[in-house]
Structure 1
Amino acid sequence: MNCRSEWNQINYKNNVQMRIAAHCAQVLAGVKPSNSVTLGREDTTVFIQALTGTGIQRRLIYDGVKRCVWLLYRENELEHYLMIREHQEFMKSCGYNSVRLSDTFSVLCKNFRQYKNGERGFPHELGLILGYPLCDVEGFIRHQGRGCLFSGYWKVYGNAEDTRKLFEVYDLVKYQIMKQVQNNKTLAQITASYPNYGILKSSRNICCPCCFNVTGN
């Protein structure tokens, strides 16, 4: 099954729950520590209601005049991922001196706001906070976004074979969750239908789809 061609046929532009599913399926399914989604300010109430009962945390990263950037995350998994020694060293090099998520988010929000105001460059540490492998975040910075091995959910600079398999998992859960929303299931019902896979706790955050029996009902 070609998941991408299937989900492209689903209309989600005017449905907040479907937009959450399209952009944040991986964190909803538990195969990624976090995702981000941009929504209109007028969607905030519906957005918060949609997440009720999912166990997914939210953080407002940027509050624009018309649009808001939200981070959806699983607290334990994201904390563990950022606590990996190499990740701590990278975050410290970006000006993050505390390992607490609340402090990390405060610095990220400040950096993102300054970026949107034209006061600094893009905060590439957001990639690590989104669970991207460190080698790909550093590769993107080093090569200024050019010369990647391939691109999908992010630009890949190392471990291409494993990352392709990971992207297949991401594609599958995105298709499954969008179809369930299309069938009028709530996000709380959907997250409850996925076993607790957990996020692979490694320095590269690479997992293989054979590690999962991703069947979301």
Structure 2
Amino acid sequence: MSREQVNKFFNIINEYNDFEYLLYVIICHCAPTLKRQKIASLIIFSDNGRKLNLIWERYKDRIKENLKISFFELRRNKKNITVLFYNDKMLETSIKCQKNIDFLNRFGYTNEMDLNQCLCHLSKRFEKICPHEIGVFLGYPIEDVITFVDCPSIKCKMIGYWKVYHDVENAKAIFNSYDLIKKKMIGLIFEGYKPTQLILNV
């Protein structure tokens, strides 16, 4: 975008009330997940600027009524709230995939755990670090996740929504599809659509 377009965009979103602004942030960060092209997206609501952590706390129940996807708070402190937005069936299918669950077993997840139990375990691990297995929950290719964890000295071939070590062409196609969805959402905001209108039509 040109500088003029950027200024116009920020002028638009800065006029949103807190609820609209929160929806805008969720839409822009989670557009591929909202469109069911991505399993899940992670957002950290911080106390910087507009203090999204406080806005989230105030409106999260209302957000739940408007979203067609689920969310789970993974970690919170005085400054930040880390939230996973996800498609239930897609995430459950991914976790139960044999390659994925074999990998997750290494970090205390078991085959008998249901989705909520897995999310609770992920949340406990988030208390100390950002656990590497978060890539599985976000839908990253398991081969790339395993290489990232087991071979930290290996240089990745590309960086986008995740670090790519293997199938670059497939990753490029996925990244482009995600970017296209986000670009379309931003375009609609430029056209005057409010986040409340967009969230009902994704």
Q: Could you state the TM-score of these two structures normalised by the residue count of structure 2?
A: 0.80
What CA distance in whole angstroms lies between the structure 2 residues aligned with 1:94 and 1:60? Answer: 20
Higher Cα Rg: structure 1 or 2? 2
- Does residue 32 of structure 1 match 2:44? no
Any idea what SS the aligned residue of 2:109 has? coil
Match of 2:90 among 67, 77, 83: 77
Indicate the SS of the match to 2:156: coil
Alignment equivalent of 2:122, drawn from 105, 108, 111: 108
Aligned to 1:128: 136
Distance in 1, matches of 2:134 and 2:73, equals: 13
Comparing both structures, which one devotes a greater share of its residues to helix? 2
Structure 2 counterpart of 1:43:
55
Counterpart residue identity of residue 88, structure 1: I
Contact 1:63 1:69 in 2 (8 A): yes
**C-alpha root-mean-square deviation of aligned residues, in Å?**
2.3
**In 2 relative to 1, CA 158–191 (structure 1 residues): closer, same or farther, beyond 3 Å?**
farther
Deviation string, structure 1 residues 117-160 (Cα, Å, up to 9, x no partner): xxxxx410111101111011111112327500100111001110
What is the letter of the counterpart of residue 26 of structure 1? P
Residues 4-37 of structure 1 show CA distances to partners (whole Å, capped at 9, x for unaligned) of: x48x934368832222122211101110011010
Moved more, 175-184 or 21-30: 175-184
Q: CA deviation at 1:52?
A: 2.6
Give the C-alpha shift of residue 176 in structure 1: 1.3
Q: Do residues 86 (structure 1) and 99 (structure 2) align? A: yes
Measured after TM superposition, the shift of residue 47 of structure 1 is: 4.5
- 1:114 is paired with a residue whose SS is coil
8 A contact 2:66–2:200 mirrored in 1: no
Q: For residue 17 of structure 1, what is the aligned residue in structure 2?
A: 23
Match of 1:160 in 2: 168
Alignment of 1:116-195 (within 5 A): 122-144=130-152, 146-182=154-190, 183-186=192-195, 189-190=197-198, 193-194=201-202
Amino acid aligned to 1:61: L
AA partner of residue 127 (structure 2): R
CA distance in 1, matches of 2:182, 2:64: 16
| Kept in 2: contact 1:83–1:99 (CA 8 A) | no
Q: Measure, in 2, the Cα distance between the counterparts of 1:49 and 1:158.
A: 41
Q: 1:146 to 1:16 in 2, by over 3 A?
A: farther
Alignment TM-score, normalising by the size of structure 1: 0.75
The percent identity for this pair of structures is 25
Considering Cα pairs closer than 8 Å and 6+ residues apart, tell me whether 1 or 2 has the greater RCO: 1
Specify whether residues 145 and 175 from structure 1 end up closer, same or farther in structure 2 by C-alpha distance, changes over 3 A only.
farther
Q: Shift of residue 51 of structure 1?
A: 4.5
Aligned residues between the structures: 182
